[in-house]
Amino acid sequence: MRGAMRNALIAGAVIFAVLAVCIIAAAWFGVLLETVYIFLMLLAAILVVATFMQIYWVASLIRAIATVRDEVKPLVSSVQETVGIVQDTAKTAGHTASIVSTVSNLASELVVAPGVRATAGAVAAGEMLKVFFGKGSKKSKYEERILQQAEEIRASGGGD
């Protein structure tokens, strides 16, 4: 960009210098009015050429935009397809998680729960047998704590 700007400034300075020399020479030879008319005609021709160039560049820009649009359409459809695949994958992952949860609950109900029930029943039966055969008696938590405190007091020697 700097190179183009520098070249444009150099070209502008050269054109300005040539115009200044031509105007001074035309004034020296007394043909200034004819020179101004010639410069006006050249300027009009340059403006017409510049207008046609602008029309050409606008048409080129429209073609470029159409090309970019045609190139982007397949990309957009590809992105939409990828989004659909990701959504399906998320649904499948959610379904898989649901299945794993169901299997876990089923295993818990069929394997763990009966074992826990059987163990609880065996412990309860053992406690009942102790009570029936006199090897143990069910005391309240309060009575157990009082006996424990009394034993600790006797052990520390404070109860004598």
At residue 59, does pLDDT exceed 90? yes
> Can you tell me the mean pLDDT for 14-27?
88
Split into its structural domains, the chain has a count of 1
> Can you tell me the mean pLDDT for 84-113?
81
pLDDT digits (tens, 9 = 90+) for 127-140: 777 777 766 555 67
Asked whether residue 92 is assigned to any structural domain, the reply reads yes
- Sequence-separated (6 or more) residues with CB below 8 Å from residue 153: 159
Alpha-carbon span 80 to 83, nearest angstrom: 5
Q: What is the reported pLDDT for 3?
A: 81
Mean pLDDT (the chain) is 84
